[in-house]
Every structure is written in structure tokens, then in C-alpha cells.
Structure 1
Amino acid sequence: MATEAQGAEEGGLVFHPMDQFIVKPLFGMGEVGAFTITNVTLWMALTVVCIILLLVMGTSRRAIVPSRSQSIAEMMYGFVYKMVEDVTGKDGVKYFPYIMTLFMFILVSNFLGLLPMAFTTTSHIAVTGVLAMMVFLAVTILGFVKNGIGFLGLFWVSSAPLALRPILALIEVISYFVRPVSHSIRLAGNMMAGHAVIKVFAAFAAIAAISPLSILAITAMYGLEILVSGIQAYVFAILTCVYLKDALHPAH
């Protein structure tokens, strides 16, 4: 701590790449409470507004020759619909609106987080954890509603030798309850890591000797983050489809 303070006083480079993930009140400087409007609240609201503008307002005047917004909306719709149908089958298509909502929320949140001075809501485990837990509970409840006690067949590997089935069943149960953890950490971790690296390169851009290299690194990382933003939304949605398939057809 003393070294950092001394470096700051002497004009050294002191930066904190994780400061961009701090949740702050939008109005005032008080503590963050359960009902405090924060920067997270603002950017989640902007995400919802952008989705409405794209999917609702952008397709309100549908035409045979589509506009740009209609083309993007139709492309997103077709992409997610085909993914749901291919993974879950015809039985899972009725749950398409839920998966479409998840995909669009994560995708738009990820892209908005790339804007200067923006806040990446999907970099917080509190946000991704809620999304993952909603999927976990919905799939589990649906599994029991659709299959009754037969849903437990998901954990019983009938194709394995009889002596190994109890051990495999225990492994399957553990992996099932770990799903929301891995589902949420994968998204939050990837978004946080990429933004932190960009912030580190941006801090070095102030040093004249390495400024060109830093700018090139930032550009490359931004391109990579654009790719990661889309991939992570896709991964979250397709894993949801896989879990939904297990709920609809639990037998191994």
C-alpha cells in the first residue's frame, strides 16, 4: 500500500481495472440498498429499451422488402427458433419465447457494455446468477410436471453396468446441481475478464513509448470482445436448450 501511494505521489502509473465493475448509486453518494437505483439499474433498463425498439418498434411496419431493423429482428428470431427446434425438438418450441428473451437480454447487455463509459451488467454474478437460477428452477419444475417421478430417470444411467449405476447416479446429481453455478460463472467471468484486460491496455496508452502498441492491443481486444459477447449469449441460450431437452426427455 505504501509503495502504491508513493508511486502515485511521484506521478507513477496507478490504475484499478476492476473499478469499472463497482455498483454505484445513480443519484447521490449513499450506500447501495435493496431499492437503490444504481448504474446496474440504468443499463439493464437501457437493455430492455433497446430490445423493445428492435423487436417491437422495428417490426411494427413489416414489409415484403424489410428495413434494416426488421431484417435484424427476423434474423435473430430465425436463429434462436432454429436453435430451439434443433436441440429440443418440436416439444420445446413452445418455450421459444423464454429462450429468445434470455438470448436477446444477454446479447444486448454484452454489446451495450462495450460502449465507452458503459456498465456491463452481465459481468456481475448477481445478474447472471439470477438468470441461471431461473433456468434451473424452470427446467426442474417442468421436468417433474411433465414426467412426474420419471424425471429422476435423468440421473440413472441404465446403459451402464449395474455395479456402476449408483456411482454414476451420484455424479449425475452433483453435476445437475452445479449447473446454475457453471452457467452463471461462465458468462460473468468471460465478460469481466475481457473488460479488465481492455482497461489494463488503456492505462498503458498514456505512456508515449508504448502508446501505439497499447492502442493496437485495445483494438484487437475490442474485436475479440465483440465476438465473445455474441458467443456467450449463444452458449447461455444453447445450454438452456440442452437443459430443457433433459426436462422433456429425461431418460438416458
Structure 2
Amino acid sequence: MAAESGKIDPMHQFQIQEIGDPLFSIAGHPIALTNSAVWMLAAAVALWAFMLLGMKRQVIPTRGQMLVENFTGFITKLVDDNIGHGGRKYVPYIFSLFMFILFANLLGLLPLGLVGLHPFTFTSHFTVTGVLAIMSFAIVLIVGFWKHGIKFFSLFIPHGTPLPMVLVIFPIELVSFLFRPFSLGLRLFVAMIAGHILLKVLAGFVINAANASPLWGGVVGVPSFVLMIGVSALEVLVAGIQAYVFALLTSLYIHDAEHLH
């Protein structure tokens, strides 16, 4: 959005705004529908519509059915490779996690501003990515203690560690383990917010250069616009990579809970 003196505020796009009046209140705090919630719902609806393409199960699959089957096969292979034995039961969760993040990232890149609708990338908020990370971490803890009980703590003591070193290595490994949800959520949050800030800054160069004069529009505006196209293409790639990394790390963490090594 434009601020004073014709400047572009690159952080305005991340502002959570209420839509309409509060729906209800909890302990005196009003709960309202926000732009973040609307785009989460949009991502969920888009994922639901995408999955409908694969529900036909025709002998000769349609393009939509093939696309769904390819994504399903991709996640199934990821789970088999990184969780191993007993990992197939986690495919629905890993698949849903991957696709939800992917749709969230891509929806935030759509050029809907051209028609007056400003997309909101809710994965650029740590509160969202952090909750997704905590969900995955909770599964790891539940599986680990359910299957192994107190033996789950052996995950923090590498096999063959001398007894005197256990007192040093155990707390280090435990702290490292507890930081996993933080780093998992932070990685996605930083990647998405950085790319969108860069795009907004470049957009500011284009707009202000064009408003200044035709000369500055050609010298600064045109190269900035070309760079915006390249960064936008890169952001599409980053959107897919970050969804993959989130799913991959979740699979690796579940592997540790399943097999303790």
C-alpha cells in the first residue's frame, strides 16, 4: 500500500485485518473473521476441490485424476523413503500438510490485485507456521511415548556413548530436539515473508520511477519490473520447495519417533 510521500510500505501486506463485526467473544475478547482466516478457508476449499479431481477413479484417468495420483504417489514415496516400515499410516497427514502449505503459498502469489482483490499469504505469519510445526511435533511426541514409553529418551543418547559423556550429550540433544518445532515453523515463515517483501520493494521502484518521469521509468522502472517477473517465478519455486521441506522434515522427525535412530 502507498504511504506518505509516495512511499510503499512493504510490511502493510502482512497486516491482519478484521472483516466485518466480531462473530462472538471469549473471555471478553472479540473474535472476528480476518483476512488470514478467509485465505486459510480458501486454501482448504482449493485443496478439497483438487482432491475431488482424483475421486472419479476412472479406468482411463482424466488429467485431473492423474495430477492427484502423481502428487499422492510423490508423497507416498517420500514417506516410504524417510519413515520406512510403518510409515504408510502417516501418508494422509503428510499429504494434507504438504498440499495445504503448497496451496497457501501459491494463492498468496496470484496477481489478484489486478482485479482489486489483494491475496494474503498466511504462511508469512509465524503464528500459522508455528501451529503447523507444533501439530507435527505433537504427533512425534505422542508416537514416541506411545510406542516406546520412557525408552523414548534414548533418542537423545547416541548409541555407544560413554557413560561420562551422557551427562553432557543428553541435555544438548534434548534442547536440540525441543527446538525442532521452532526451526520448522521459522524456516517457512522467513522464506515466504522475505520473498514478498522483495516483490513489494521492487513494485515500489516501478511505481515511483514511473511517477517521477519517463526517464526514471525507463532507467529504474523497467529493470525493476523485469526483476519482479524473475523473482515471481522464483517465488513459485520457493513455494513448492518450502512445502516439500516442511513435509520432509516432518517425515524425518516421525521416523525418529517410530524407530529411535
Q: TM-score, normalising length from structure 2?
A: 0.87
Partner of 2:238: 228
Deviations 1:17-41 (A, max 9, x none): 0110000012269xx9662101011
Partner of 1:199: 200
What is the percentage of aligned positions where both structures have the same residue? 41
Conserved in 2, the CA contact under 8 Å of 1:155 and 1:173?
yes
1:152 is aligned to 2:153: yes
Which letter does structure 2 place at the counterpart of 1:149?
I
Partner of 2:182: 181
Q: Secondary structure at the match of 2:54?
A: coil
Deviations 1:28-67 (A, max 9, x none): 69xx966210101111011011111111x21232323322
Which letter does structure 2 place at the counterpart of 1:47?
A
The whole-number CA distance in structure 1 between the counterparts of 2:82 and 2:30 is 38
The whole-number CA distance in structure 2 between the counterparts of 1:173 and 1:97 is 29
RMSD (CA atoms): 1.7
Partner of 2:115: none
Q: Which residues in structure 2 correspond to 1:133-148 (within 5 Å)? A: 133-148=134-149
Which letter does structure 1 place at the counterpart of 2:36?
V
The whole-number CA distance in structure 2 between the counterparts of 1:137 and 1:177 is 11
Partner of 1:26: 19
1:52 is aligned to 2:64: no
Partner of 1:112: 107
Q: TM-score, normalising length from structure 1?
A: 0.90
Deviations 1:144-196 (A, max 9, x none): 00011111110112323333232111110000110111000000110000011
The whole-number CA distance in structure 1 between the counterparts of 2:98 and 2:192 is 15
- Stretches of structure 1 that go unaligned for 5 or more consecutive residues are none
Q: Figure out how many residues of one structure are paired with residues of the other and give that number.
A: 239
Which consecutive aligned stretches of 4+ in structure 1 deviate over 4 angstroms post-superposition? none
Deviations 1:60-115 (A, max 9, x none): 32323322211211111000011001111121111111111111110110110101
Conserved in 2, the CA contact under 8 Å of 1:158 and 1:165?
no
Partner of 2:133: 132
Partner of 2:249: 239
1:67 is aligned to 2:77: no
Conserved in 1, the CA contact under 8 Å of 2:141 and 2:257?
yes
Conserved in 1, the CA contact under 8 Å of 2:21 and 2:32?
no
Partner of 2:169: 168
Conserved in 2, the CA contact under 8 Å of 1:129 and 1:180?
yes
Partner of 1:41: 37
Which letter does structure 2 place at the counterpart of 1:195?
H
- Stretches of structure 2 that go unaligned for 5 or more consecutive residues are 112-117, 210-216
